[in-house]
Chains A and B, each alone.
Chain A
Amino acid sequence: MKDGCSLKIKIEHLNHSFGTQKILNDLSFESREIKSLAIIGPSGSGKSTLLRVLGGLIQAQSGRIEINGEELKPDEKSLFQHRKKVGTVFQDFNLFSNLNAFENIILPLVKVHGLSREEAESRAQELVKRFQLEPHAKKKPAQLSGGQKQRFAIVRAVAIQPQLLLLDEPTSALDPEMTAEVLHLIEELKSENKDFILVTHNIAFSERVANDILFLSEGAVRDYGHAEAVLKHSKSIEVQTFLRKILI
């Protein structure tokens, strides 16, 4: 486990469009050295797209990205290598429906990271036990609750011991009780010093788990800073308006 702050992100003039729609609009920002970052902002602000670019899933049309001082080169081969080093969890349908939860965790360990079947099993077993998911490990995704599915998805992403964990609105498809389960797990990861970037609608939670908050709107940065500074003392009128609207 790494100690201290290790996550540092630098983005220069990032642009991306889907068709005629501009999603990332000359986005630039440089983070401090942190452990965790929450990306918030209104729907359609480009949060998820930015996360996918950072995860090497989308190649931005132009711009430059550095993660921990290392440039993310925009060719498929480098992106493929990058994807192996990060763990990504999406909003929904992360687990492969043809495999049970346990096999879902093992698949990338064996096929992508070259662990032996025994090593993979013992690592998966340990994680499943630690996060109290043991009784559900042999179930197929269709037999799991939404919260259990997301917890397994996070465990699968953590199991590869990623350099960085990316969470894209991991609770927005869940009801409040299940949301709590998943958030609890994320808090545990924070206490284990895992680096992560979280896209979320849950402002209160982002304040609790993230060192810093990045506020996006229309594909550009409106504010960035310490969580409390952004949420309580943002100078941006847009940020203030947004927060006031959703906190009512």
Chain B
Amino acid sequence: MGLFNNKIESDAEIRLRKRTEKIVSVAVVFVVGLLFAWSFNKLNYNWNWSAVYVYREKFYLGFINTLWISFSALLLSVLFGFIIAYCLESGNVLLRVLARLYIELIRGTPLLVQILIFFYVIASSIGLENRYFVGILNLAFFSAAYISEIFRAGIKSVGQTQLESARAIGLTNRQTLIYVVIPQAARVVLPPLAGQFVSLIKDSSLLSIIAISELTLNAQEVNSFTYSSLESYLPLAFGYLLMTFPISLWIRRIERRVQLEN
């Protein structure tokens, strides 16, 4: 182990490392839990879970909405990201400049402002009124700027000789993409892509400012009905963790597989 140490471990060493990691994880969770309990206890806070419990349906609804909004945005962002990556590497100078400008603009400005401008200015001027649709598009546009760079790095990671080999055996460009570039780039792309998906899910909370009934908006509403902020926001945090944690586990699985393949 170690950042710059690629020592090959024996099976016994791997088993030992995994067992140690498990024990340490449990211990760390326990200690951090205690720390939280202690600080919450010091707060002298008047917990009122029952008031919030009345509105449990809202959390459920918000969770489901966030889930499908994020999922749709995620699919769209992959598509847009691919198109922008293609433009970045295109032979056409106009496409390249536009893609670069797009990325700089999106990455350099707050998502909050983008949502406001996109919804109240751009979408309304072209007659897009469904706020859910606008919100999903907005998230997808935002995420695509990051994803395009991830894709580009992945495609660039495929060696020149691999491409030349593909040409030499007579593959068409499309076949080269399908059978050589995508499978090879996937190994480089998947871990950061999964990380981007986690960000996207959390970023969807900002859609609350255009009154999309996702998890955060619902938690905010429960808070204003009950004046119980912690009881509203703790389940909110837990809800996001419930969506992002499986992705984190998935990233780790992919990374392990990549290690095996190399």
A residues whose Cβ falls under 8 Å from a Cβ of B: 55, 57, 80, 83-84, 87-88, 90, 92-99, 107-108, 111-113, 140, 142, 156-157, 160
Residue positions of B touching A, CB distance < 8 A: 159, 161-162, 164-172, 175, 179-180, 183-184, 261-262
CA gap between A80 and B172 in the complex, in Å: 8
Determine the residue in chain A with the shortest Cβ distance to B168: A88
Say whether A156 contacts B262, CB under 8 Å: no
Inter-subunit contact B169/A156 (CB<8 Å):
yes
* Shortest Cβ gap from A98 to chain B (Å): 4
Inter-chain CA distance A111–B172, complex, in Å, is 9
Are A93 and B170 interface neighbours, CB within 8 A?
A: no
Q: Is the CB of A84 within 8 A of B170?
A: yes
Contact A108 B169 (CB under 8 A): yes
CB of A108 within 8 A of CB of B162, answer no
Cα of A111 to Cα of B167 in the assembled complex, Å: 13
A83-B170 in contact given A96-B179, A97-B184, A142-B262 (Cβ < 8 Å): yes
Between-chain CB contacts (< 8 Å), 18 pairs: A55-B168, A57-B167, A57-B168, A83-B167, A83-B168, A87-B169, A88-B169, A90-B165, A90-B168, A93-B165, A94-B161, A96-B165, A99-B179, A99-B183, A107-B169, A107-B171, A108-B171, A112-B170
> How many whole Å from B145's CB to the nearest CB in chain A?
28
The answer to whether B164 and A142 have CB atoms under 8 Å apart is no
Asked if A111 and B184 sit within 8 Å, CB to CB, the answer is: no
A232 smallest CB distance to B (angstroms): 34
Bound-complex Cα distance A248 to B184 (A): 44
Give the nearest-CB partner of B159 in chain A.
A93
Chain A, Cβ-Cβ closest to B186: A98
A219 CA to B24 CA in the complex, in Å?
65
Check B161 against A92 for contact (C-beta < 8 Å). yes
Query: How near does chain A come to B6, taking the closest CB pair, in angstroms?
Result: 13
For the residues of B in contact with A, the DSSP-based class is helix
With A90-B164, A92-B161, A94-B161 as contacts: A111 and B262 at CB distance below 8 Å: no
Q: Of A80, A93, A113, A142, which one neighbours B162 at CB under 8 angstroms?
A: A93
Q: Counting chain B CB atoms within 10 Å of each CB, which of A95, A98, A111, A156 scores highest?
A: A98
Interface centre among A80, A108, A112 (most CB of B within 10 A): A108
A94, B165: Cβ atoms closer than 8 Å? yes
Q: Which residues does chain A contribute within 8 Å of B179, judged by CB atoms?
A: 96, 99, 107, 111
Q: Report whether B180 and A96 are in contact in the complex, using a CB–CB cutoff of 8 Å.
A: yes
Give Cα A217–Cα B172 distance, bound, in whole angstroms.
34
Closest-CB distance, B65 to chain A (whole angstroms):
38
Choose from B159, B161, B170, B262 the contact partner of A108 (Cβ within 8 Å). Answer: B170
Cα distance, A213 to B32, chains bound together (Å): 75
A90-B161, A98-B180, A111-B179 are known contacts. Are A140 and B261 too (CB-CB below 8 A)?
yes
> A100 vs B172: C-alpha distance in the bound complex, in angstroms?
21
Shortest C-beta distance, B89 to chain A (Å), equals: 19
For B261, the chain A residues whose CB sits under 8 A away are: 140, 142
Determine the distance from Cα of A108 to Cα of B170 in the docked complex, in whole angstroms. Answer: 7
* Chain B, residue nearest A103 (CB): B179
A242 CB to closest chain B CB (Å) equals 27
In the complex, chain B residues whose CB is within 8 Å of the CB of A107: 169, 171, 179
Chain A residues with CB under 8 A of B164: 57, 90
When chains A and B are docked, how far (Å) is the Cα of A83 from the Cα of B184? 23
Which 8 residue pairs of A and B lie closest in terms of their CB atoms, listed nearest first? Answer: A84-B170, A98-B183, A88-B168, A93-B161, A108-B169, A112-B170, A83-B170, A98-B184
Closest chain-B Cβ to A218's Cβ sits at a distance in Å of 24
| Docked-complex contact A111 and B175, CB < 8 angstroms | yes
Q: In the complex the two chains form, what is the Cα distance from A98 to B165 in whole Å?
A: 13
Query: Beyond the given A96-B162, A112-B170, A112-B171, could you list 6 further A-B residue pairs with CB under 8 A, ordered by the A residue number?
Result: A57-B168, A83-B169, A88-B168, A97-B162, A98-B183, A108-B170
Nearest B residue (CB) for A109: B169
Q: Contacts of A88 on B, CB cut-off 8 Å?
A: 168-169
> Which A residue sits closest to B184, measured CB to CB?
A98
Question: Smallest distance from the beta carbon of A72 to chain B beta carbons, Å?
Answer: 15
Nearest-neighbour CB distance to chain A for B126, whole angstroms, equals 41
Quick one: closest B residue to A90, CB to CB? B161
Shortest Cβ distance from residue B136 to the other chain A in the assembled complex, whole angstroms: 33
In the bound complex, residues from chain B placing their C-beta under 8 Å from that of A92 are 161
CA distance A57 to B161 in the complex (A): 12
Residues in B with CB closer than 8 Å to A112 are: 169-171, 175
Q: How far is the CB of A144 from chain B (nearest CB, A)?
A: 13
Q: Report the Cα distance A142→B184, complex, angstroms.
A: 13
In the bound assembly, the distance between CA atoms of A92 and B165 in angstroms comes to: 10
